[in-house]
Structure 1
Amino acid sequence: MCAITLAGLIGTYLNVLALSLLFLLFASWLAYVTFEDTPQGKTIFTSYGVTLYQMFVLFTTSNNPDVWVPAYKISRWYSLFFIVYVLLGVYFLTNLILAVIYDSFKEQFAKQLVQVDSIRKNILQKAFDLIDTNNRGYLDREQCISLLNELNKYRSLPKTSREDFELIFAELDRSGDFKVTSEEFADLCNTIAIKFQKEPPPSYLEKFPFYHSPLCGRLKSFVRSRVFEYIIVFVLLINLVAVIIETT
């Protein structure tokens, strides 16, 4: 899907490339004409092709400020041309290119998601119609579990345990009438992807009555409190002082 999204941005890429090329061509022509009869033109901008190349490199700031040192030696005002060029190219044009590409990519990606979601719903609707052989307009528990059993045969899909079958059916059956309608069936893909968290088994101590007594509850609250943390920190500090005294 990413390749399709990028392919849909070819028009945007061409527009941005044309804008950058026009900016580079115009700036190079202006630089060549302005500095033609100066040491800058005789040493650096010897031809329009060389000027175009040097200005392209300057767009990346790789040869900045070396490329305009001869012009700067003649007059400091000449540096304004190159400073404005770098500011427009690096801070304006580059940000404009990134903004246009990002907005176009986001828009194209959203369209692709809508298309994929539409295709997925159509496929699920066809699957629902195939399973609903009696044309009742809903699927019962046995039909859904049979479907999940068949889906378990495909390696590309996550394996679902028998316990999760019931949970998936309960998740699909939002109305609680033990019937899965076509609208509820449309969430099948998302429901299968859910990782159901199993509650951890009770600990060994929870089997004793004392664990559930009020005294034990107060003890657990005390251990979780800030006071207990401060006591531990105080004991550690005393231990640190004792170690320092013993070693000295």
Structure 2
Amino acid sequence: MTVTARVPLADLAALLADGTRARFCLALLDGRAWTAGELARHAGVAASTASEHLSLLVRGGILAEERQGRHRYVRLAGPRVAQLIEDLAAHADLAAPAPPPPTLRAASSARAMAAARTCYDHLAGRLGVAVTDALTARGLLRQDTGFALSDDGLAWFAADLGVRLAPRGRRPMAKACLDWTERRHHLAGVAGAVLCATLLERGWVTRIGTGRALRVTAPGARALEDLLGLKSVESAGSEAAAGSRP
């Protein structure tokens, strides 16, 4: 008699194989907590259906939940889960590129996502890759032996950006994350999260609508040019955002 052992990888694959659950996970890559109702509307499913899917994802360790009154909030369980979802999205796009957007609105949204977006809690898209390249060119970030901030990089965060970096558990200070639109790596880890949070807090980038797409503001464009020598980031983000949902 042959006994088939339980395979955790197969269980994980089954969790993410459903289209609705995959859409939930991709939406939650914005790093924020969503209510079950918001995710249901986003995926175009009934609230009861969304609740069943979310329960599976929570039990499977993909999502974490918190209840406040009648509302059920869910978020990705952590950076490692976010990295997994982003890596799978990148691999899927390489294996079978998505068809052209069917509407002008969808095309505008896709352009905005490609220009600048959040990848869980760090910058992605052309902006994320451009910032990563600028940090590397200035000797602040090393990529020759894996992603690592140099001593000058740590000093830049403290002196130029005005933020001191501190270790957060087992999360690496700097980590490479494959960008699924640019096919190159952008900066993740503690440094990537702090950089993204700082840009948002100072109004140098703003969210477009309720999604992951970002727009570089005029003050942000000036700050990025002063800090990293980046040019034309404002126009790239603004043009992509022009036709997307306000």
Bucket of the pairwise TM-score, normalised by the shorter protein: under 0.3
TM-score of the pair, normalised by structure 1: 0.23
TM-score of the pair, normalised by structure 2: 0.23
Point out the structure with max Rg over C-alpha: 1
Q: Which of the two has greater helix per residue?
A: 1
Q: Which of the two has greater strand per residue?
A: 2
Q: Specify which structure has the bigger relative contact order, considering alpha-carbon pairs within 8 angstroms and separated by 6 or more residues.
A: 2
